[in-house]
Amino acid sequence: MNRIMRRAATAATSALLAACSAAALAQSYPAKPIRIIVPYAPGGSTDVVFRILAPRLTEILGQQIVIDNRPGAASTIGLEIVAKSPPDGYTVGVSNIAYGANPAIYKKMPFDSEKDLLPVTLVSIVTLVATVHPSLPARSIKELIALAKSKPAALTYGSAGNGSANHLATARFEHMAGIKLLHIPYKGGGPAVVSIVQGETSILLATIPSSIQHFKTGKLIPLAVSSAKRNSALPDLPTISEAGVPGYEAIEWQGLMVPAGTPQAVIRTLQQATTKASQTPEIREKVAGLGADFVNSTPEEFDQFVKRELAVWSKVVKDVGIKID
């Protein structure tokens, strides 16, 4: 056998062994606990939604689902861990709106957003709500805009960090409303909500799951929702577009990603289990009551969604001028 034939035989053998290994993994999956990395601090909407899903996923898959919070750098720290983990389905990451914007914001990414992670399913969409601390003399979007124009760059707004949903959505709001606010980034949605409740910041485009209880107690004042249509969890609130910034829309979303190379059978198992868990009536009711809506896409549908997000936010980042040092 000449050298070329030996190389071809070796390559064919390696491919066959890899295929057999992937098939064996898929058949036995899952055989141990699965870690879901939430790239934000506990308490934010991304964390809340998956902690609601985790017990039911554990029942369906027959293995413990462990939520691992790894906040920082607009989700890139947590998702880098996922991207560099073995492609065996035991380390899964949660992506969100920041995933679409990060490649345009950061000069150098620690992983390739289009190559190093594979989409599993778009799990949920969460509406944001323009929120103010009770001490701020604004009870509508028009009053907030007027106040901000009278005090350029003086009013503070919090976020879950640079490049987070709160940051991106508020930057777009500033741009479209013709105002300038002072950005105070925190390490996660939970800390950002705590900051406005305590009066450290004045404004927050908060996710409904992380803030709705504070609306009920009067600790925070909701002004308008960020979606194109009103939200069933806060039906009396207008949209920001209705309330004074025509055409404005920004939504948070959450999806599951796995390292490139993960067998398709494993991806399908995760996708089907997530869909089944989200169809549990009590879970749907609990999540809907927090202002989130389940989507349950196929991997292919989520892949197309991610590609659109990357294109849309690349343009927004450029138009708005969002930069992270």
> What pLDDT was estimated at residue 6?
59
Is the per-residue pLDDT at 182 higher than 70?
Answer: yes
pLDDT, average across residues 255-263: 98
Is the per-residue pLDDT at 159 higher than 80?
Answer: yes
Domain ranges, ordered by start, for the chain: 31-125+251-320, 127-243
Q: For 7-51, what is each residue's pLDDT tens digit? A: 555 555 544 544 445 555 567 999 999 999 999 888 777 888 999
pLDDT tier at 208 (50, 70, 90 boundaries)? confident
Q: Decide which of 3.40.630.30, 3.40.190.150, 3.30.420.240, 3.40.50.300 is the CATH code for 31-125+251-320.
A: 3.40.190.150
Is the per-residue pLDDT at 114 higher than 60?
Answer: yes
pLDDT, average across residues 203-218: 92
> What pLDDT was estimated at residue 160?
84
Containing 233, the helix (H) or strand (E) segment is: none
Tokens coding 316: 């927004």
How far apart are alpha carbons 225 and 12 in whole angstroms? Answer: 56
- Chain centroid to Cα 106, Å, comes to 17
pLDDT tier at 187 (50, 70, 90 boundaries)? confident
Is the per-residue pLDDT at 143 higher than 90?
Answer: yes
pLDDT, average across residues 147-175: 92
pLDDT, average across residues 268-296: 92
How far apart are alpha carbons 184 and 159 in whole angstroms? Answer: 7
> What pLDDT was estimated at residue 217?
97
> What pLDDT was estimated at residue 2?
58
Is there a contact between 166 and 253 (Cβ–Cβ < 8 Å)? no
Is there a contact between 92 and 37 (Cβ–Cβ < 8 Å)? yes
Is there a contact between 16 and 8 (Cβ–Cβ < 8 Å)? no
Query: Do the two domains 31-125+251-320 and 127-243 of this chain adopt the same fold?
Result: yes
How far apart are alpha carbons 225 and 127 in whole angstroms? Answer: 7
Fold annotation for 127-243: D-Maltodextrin-Binding Protein; domain 2 (3.40.190)
> What pLDDT was estimated at residue 20?
46
Q: What percent of the chain has pLDDT over 70?
A: 92
